[in-house]
Structure 1
Amino acid sequence: MSVNQPPAGDAQEAELRVLRDQIDSVDRQIHQLLNDRARLAQQVAEVKERYRQGEETPVFYRPEREAQVLRAVMARNEGPLADATVGRLFREVMSVCLALEEPLKVVFLGPEGTFTQQAAQKHFGQAAECHALDSLEQVFTAVEQGEAHYAVVPIESEDAGLIRHTLDLFRRFNLHICGEVELTPEAASSQLNRCPRYLVVGRDAIGPSGEDKTSLLLICGDEPGALHDLLAPFHRRKISLTRLETRSSGQHDWKTLFYIDFEGHVSDDRVAELMVELNDLQVEVKHLGSYPKAVL
């Protein structure tokens, strides 16, 4: 070793000190930008309050806007952080900023610590106020009566079957699907063969985000060829179905219930035309919602 050369340990510490100083500088910039973003969120709330109409409650949470922001975040990501990792970070940033405008109250089927709670926190972030209720009916009622802004409910179980009780409640309550959440098998259980799926339910219809799904309930008589007649309008318009389930309506009326998910938003021309044609058929059509596809 040269007489003038510092020991290896000292050289390493000197290099690390430079990098740590740079990290501290970046942290200060991040901190400043986070506070800048939070102040902008507060200004958004002030503008919405100023332009509110009478007793109408301003809409602070926009699911379609959040989906667009998260997609843009992931699209422009250059690494080394993974796209999904960056998306989750920004979701938490948006969650805490939204809480400055208005804390979101979200309900789910209890008890605490279930996969449904995980889905709620994944979708809304840790700043949302998530509360467990004892039954799915209580969950739907809390949203309908304005006691909660949104609910997260299971729609697809671990064995790939639809949750029938959830479908029954969608038929009874006048609520809208506002989003979807998928838990990865790792987040839920190592024994799962597919991702459990949950739906976000609210009182208001959601505008288009650019990458959307629509869900319908169709109830018709149990005549031969009924399914063919229902699917023909989709086929003619080349609309892709992502889910199709059938079951008895469960009301001793000899009717069949069809649950359908497909790509597109009800404001799209093709989907609007589809809805007109379906309503002309001898079926009961309930539009459950058009909503952004799951981003994370």
Structure 2
Amino acid sequence: MADTQTPESSSDSLDADTALLALRQQIDSIDQQIQVLINQRAACAQQVAEVKLRCSPQHPAVFYRPEREAQVLRRVMERNDGPLPGKDMARLFREIMSVCLALEQPLNVAYPGPEGSYTEQAVRKHFGFSVKGVAMSDAEQAFKAVEQGHCHYAVTPVESTHEGLVSHTLDLFRRYDLRICGEVELVLDPVDDKSLAADTRYLVLGKQYVAPSGKDKTSILLSMRDQPGVLHDVLGAFRQRSISLTRLESRTLHQGQEHYSLFYIDFEGHQEDAPIKGLLSELSQGPDTLKVLGSYPRAVL
């Protein structure tokens, strides 16, 4: 077949090849710069680990700081000017932070299995792919793994699209002395099989106290003798201090002849904030039982 390409089309093709070659060389150069900078960041992370170990020889060093990571990811999104969307850019940084943290301390994160479940997806979304996910038979085994020191953290569902609050998790909070260190929101594809347990909110559990990040939540368990007006009194304490609730669940407990109301409450703010200090002080007075589950950064991604 005769070559039907005209001189003009041949020239256009050569111009396009030249332009593409120049752009690809530019991309290669940028990739090299990114790689150098990522390794510089990793080296800084190693130095951070050395400082932490040197400055706290008598106590275990804390390498994973949820409040610090939340602040970094928020700044990434705030300063992002495209063309990548802010959350996509933050997800890239999430993985950079994950590999850098692994250089400081490889983390083991327990979760109720099986592997490949939504809960494992929540682990990866929050910690990145450089942590070791450890599948457990159920949520209680995940709690035990952290309490006994076999794993650094656990991720467990706390809300289900089908059941609301996962009551079994609520019982485990009463029995185990763990803190909430973070939350994960997992948005599922609407075409997913609705017969599956489509859990959408997860909690990160550990033993450490989490400092304020600037945008935080606090979760508590409050057990009160069951009597008329008890919920009104609880809500009044929040309203008096203009503290916004984000979640309120209650259930009845039976202990012998006595009946108690158990409240699980999420609200905005950190337990170091003055209004919340006053709230917790008020709720802890009298015969009622208050357990502060933790203050932690609101989900960023």
TM-score grouping bracket, smaller chain normalisation: over 0.9
1:220 is aligned to 2:218: no
The residue number in structure 2 matching 1:295 is: 300
1:284 is aligned to 2:284: no
SS of equivalent to 2:70:
helix
8 Å CA contact retained: 2:181, 2:204 = yes
Provide Cα deviations, 1:192-235, integer angstroms capped at 9, x if missing partner.
9x971000000111100000000010111110001011111100
The residue number in structure 1 matching 2:240 is: 236
Map 1:66-77 to 2 at 5 A: 66-77=69-80
Q: Rate the CA distance shift 1:160–1:242 in 2: closer, same or farther, 3 A.
A: farther
- Distance in structure 2 (CA, Å) of the matches to 1:174 and 1:287: 10
Which of 198, 203, 209 is the equivalent residue of 2:207?
Answer: 203
- Distance in structure 2 (CA, Å) of the matches to 1:62 and 1:199: 15
Q: Rate the CA distance shift 1:281–1:188 in 2: closer, same or farther, 3 A.
A: farther
Q: Where does structure 1 lack aligned partners over 5 or more consecutive residues?
A: none
Map 1:115-194 to 2 at 5 A: 115-159=118-162, 161-186=164-189, 189=192, 191=194
TM-score normalised according to structure 1 size: 0.95
Number of residue-to-residue matches in the alignment: 294
- Distance in structure 1 (CA, Å) of the matches to 2:54 and 2:63: 13
The residue number in structure 1 matching 2:110 is: 107
Code of the residue aligned with 1:285 in structure 2: it is L
8 Å CA contact retained: 1:184, 1:195 = no
Q: Rate the CA distance shift 1:131–1:25 in 2: closer, same or farther, 3 A.
A: same
Measured on the aligned residues, the alpha-carbon RMSD in Å equals 1.9
1:34 is aligned to 2:57: no
Deviation of the 1:3 alpha carbon: 6.7
SS of equivalent to 1:73:
helix
SS of equivalent to 1:247:
strand
Deviation of the 1:186 alpha carbon: 2.0
The residue number in structure 1 matching 2:278 is: 273
SS of equivalent to 2:236:
helix
- Distance in structure 1 (CA, Å) of the matches to 2:53 and 2:35: 27
- Distance in structure 1 (CA, Å) of the matches to 2:205 and 2:41: 28
- Distance in structure 1 (CA, Å) of the matches to 2:105 and 2:227: 50
TM-score normalised according to structure 2 size: 0.93
- Distance in structure 2 (CA, Å) of the matches to 1:32 and 1:21: 17
- Identity percentage over the alignment? 54
Provide Cα deviations, 1:140-175, integer angstroms capped at 9, x if missing partner.
111011111100011001225111110000011111
Q: Rate the CA distance shift 1:19–1:190 in 2: closer, same or farther, 3 A.
A: farther
- Distance in structure 1 (CA, Å) of the matches to 2:102 and 2:207: 19
1:12 is aligned to 2:19: no
- Distance in structure 1 (CA, Å) of the matches to 2:12 and 2:200: 53
Q: Where does structure 2 lack aligned partners over 5 or more consecutive residues?
A: none
